[in-house]
Amino acid sequence: MTRIATRIKDAAMRDDGIWRVLRRTAMHGLGIAAAWTIATTAAAQAPSTIALDVADWVPGFDSATGGWTAVPAGRPIGQAVLTIDFALAVEPGTYDIYWRHSGAVPALRVAAGIVVGDGVTTVPVASGAAFAVADWVVRDDPDTAGWGVVPALAYAGEPWLARTQGDAVFLPPGNYDFYWLPSGDATPIPVARQEVPEPFGGIGVEIQAVEAGMRVLNAAETQPAGRAGILPDDIIVAVDGTVIAGMTLAEAVALLRGTIGVPVVVGIRRGKGEPLELTMTREEVQPVVVVRADSGVAITNGSTLPALDPATGWWGAVSAGQAPTVMVNATADTAAPLLLSPGRYDLYWRISDRRDPFLVAVNIDVTAGAVTEVRIDGRLEGPRR
């Protein structure tokens, strides 16, 4: 144990690969948590250190092209050297922190104006987005299908702010547009525009409004709600004695959030059992929003309609009332659902590039978590080219 602790301490003092040493020591039975405590304690003996507190779910860097760095506040990252170690020795001062998943995406400014004095300054890396993709969503190339993320209203495409084939991505607070890519070179399909909010005082639950209150979709075991015993599918019926049946999601969330360190009593109903009251203390929550690719539209009688040319034919959707010039999503596969974010759409059918698209359905309502089924009568009329 002494030899391992000495190696970690030496690495910390030199800023010479703390994280690599931590990973090696885990194999010797010390454990990452204990090794990190030794490393950060040793690093405190250096003049100043920035240490990243990275959540377990955050995907790692590409070891060849990813990493992070700190630059003086207000300066661009420029050609700053990135490190994959999770602690960095710096001079006292004020810094901006940049993070880059890999060379395929630009560096993100994940924290600004971090004041660093003597000892260790910890910066959390724990906010972002988790992805839920329905089984029916098309993956033309399973090896490259995945998600692309850009700032809200920005151009969708290279360079992506973040690009991943995984089920989560680290993002600092901000507004983002999320796109699904069935393959690496596919046209991006818009799925959601969502905000990753600033950290807040909360209990760590994802909820959905239902008639009886708020249904719990997820309650992480590491958060106050999970530790107190709240489980997925529990129904939250009251917060500090206030009945929440009939409230909007935003109203219920406002009750659950509050000052860090202040207790809150949450009333829940589990199945047909009696209501329970659970007390927990709000903690700082680094928000992780859930982005779902699970809504769309399906044609129930596609096989009875005029066949689509496999090379140039398609059926697809545009926002209701828009011309079929730029499709939100389109495919030649008439048997599978078409991925669409919640909203209203008009559907078009193009037999081939020799025929103009035909309007076949109007103002179709697509709701979250569901596939809207549409039957088309087959009477396609329109001008030939």
Q: How confident is the model at residue 46 (pLDDT cuts 50, 70, 90)?
A: low
Class of domain 295-374: mainly beta
Q: What is the pLDDT of residue 22?
A: 46
Percent of the chain with pLDDT over 70: 85
Tell me, what amino acid is at 76? Answer: P
Q: What is the pLDDT of residues 349-364, one digit of tens each?
A: 999 988 889 899 999 9
CB 377 within 8 A of CB 384: no
Segment 229-237 mean pLDDT: 93
Q: How far is CA 126 from CA 34, 56, 156, 233, 346, in A?
A: 20, 8, 25, 25, 39
Q: In terms of pLDDT, which residue wins out, 4 or 34?
A: 34
119-125/48-54 β-pairing = parallel
349's CB contacts (< 8 A; 6+ apart) are 305, 306, 308, 315, 357, 358, 360, 376, 380
Q: In terms of pLDDT, which residue wins out, 340 or 101?
A: 340
Q: Is residue 129 within a helix (H) or strand (E), and if so which, with residue range?
A: strand 128-133
Segment 16-34 mean pLDDT: 44
- The reply to whether omega before 159 is within 30° of 0 (cis) is yes
Q: What is the pLDDT of residues 139-151, one digit of tens each?
A: 989 889 999 999 9
Beta bridge partner(s), residue 206:
218
Q: What is the pLDDT of residue 221?
A: 81
CATH topology classification for 201-284 = Pdz3 Domain (2.30.42)
Segment 375-379 mean pLDDT: 73
Domain residue spans of the chain:
2-125, 128-196, 201-284, 295-374
Q: How confident is the model at residue 301 (pLDDT cuts 50, 70, 90)?
A: confident
Q: What is the pLDDT of residue 351?
A: 92
Tell me, what amino acid is at 231? Answer: L
Q: Could you give the CA distance from residue 293 to residue 179 in angstroms, rounded to a whole number?
A: 9
pTM of the model: 0.73
CB 121 within 8 A of CB 281: no
* CA atoms within 13 A of residue 8's CA, in its CB half-sphere: 29
Q: Could you give the CA distance from residue 329 to residue 351 in angstroms, rounded to a whole number?
A: 16
Q: What is the pLDDT of residues 85-104, one digit of tens each?
A: 888 888 999 999 998 888 87
